[in-house]
Amino acid sequence: MDGEFRTEFVRDPAALRQHPALVLNADYRPLSYYPLSLWPWQEAVKAVFLDRVDIVAEYEAKVHSPSTVIRIPSVVVLRDYVKPQKRVAFTRFNLFLRDGFCCQYCGSRGDLTFDHVVPRARGGVTSWENVVAACARCNLRKGSKSLRQSGLALKRSPRRPGAEELRDMGRKFPPNHLHDSWIDFLYWDAELEA
Ligand SMILES: [Zn+2]
């Protein structure tokens, strides 16, 4: 069942354009931040009828079935707790997220690329430990030189982030579209930590 819930919300991005539902785990935290756990409204309504979720908030819009009319859920919460994924996928996005979307050499936020700390030409591998976000300028300056030869310094040594760590970073970089009813669930625990 875990797998089912995890993959459903990424299957059809086009269906998310209208009335997506934010999916919360049974502890009322988003099931995931990246991608933000959203279901197309059809999935959310289906889950309501299958008693898999409870409705937390609703849109004004309604849907009609042969026997009933319901308002489209904007936030739903799973009845059964799903254990968060431990493994962090090594993706471009997650790597940028780990590095806070800023160049690990100069700290700038524009024009980001990827840099192999030990250049590939010198046997450097593509891994969490050897790839960092770098601006185009620093990337060019570093070229295929070693760190020492380039005269550049890393802000911190790269490593594989934990799932929790990445989730905390994810909170700082919300998606472009946020429905009002989602805001509390995305930020309430972050504010308590401040
Ligand atoms: Zn830079």
CATH architecture of 92-150: Orthogonal Bundle (1.10)
Q: Determine the distance separating the centroid of ligand 1 and the alpha carbon of 123, expressed in angstroms.
A: 23
The predicted structure's pLDDT at residue 37: 86
The predicted structure's pLDDT at residue 166: 84
The predicted structure's pLDDT at residue 10: 40
Q: Determine the distance separating the centroid of ligand 1 and the alpha carbon of 156, expressed in angstroms.
A: 14
Q: Determine the distance separating the centroid of ligand 1 and the alpha carbon of 100, expressed in angstroms.
A: 13
Q: Determine the distance separating the centroid of ligand 1 and the alpha carbon of 132, expressed in angstroms.
A: 11
pTM over cut 0.85: no
What tokens appear for 41 in the block?
């409204």
Q: Determine the distance separating the centroid of ligand 1 and the alpha carbon of 104, expressed in angstroms.
A: 7
Domain extents for the chain?
Answer: 13-84+170-186, 92-150
Helix (H, G, I), strand (E, B) or coil at 12: coil
The predicted structure's pLDDT at residue 7: 37
DSSP one-letter string for 116-169: ESS-GGGT---STTTEEEEEHHHHHHHTT--HHHHT---SS---PPPHHHHHHH
Give the residue ranges of the chain where pLDDT is below 70. 1-17, 34-35, 174-177, 187-194
Q: Determine the distance separating the centroid of ligand 1 and the alpha carbon of 193, expressed in angstroms.
A: 30
Task: List the 69-78 sheet strands across, edge first.
Answer: 38-39, 21-24, 69-78, 53-64
Q: Determine the distance separating the centroid of ligand 1 and the alpha carbon of 15, expressed in angstroms.
A: 38
Q: Determine the distance separating the centroid of ligand 1 and the alpha carbon of 114, expressed in angstroms.
A: 11
Q: Determine the distance separating the centroid of ligand 1 and the alpha carbon of 168, expressed in angstroms.
A: 24
The predicted structure's pLDDT at residue 5: 41
Q: Determine the distance separating the centroid of ligand 1 and the alpha carbon of 82, expressed in angstroms.
A: 39
pLDDT digits (tens, 9 = 90+) for 54-105: 999 999 999 887 788 889 999 999 999 998 777 788 888 788 889 988 999 9
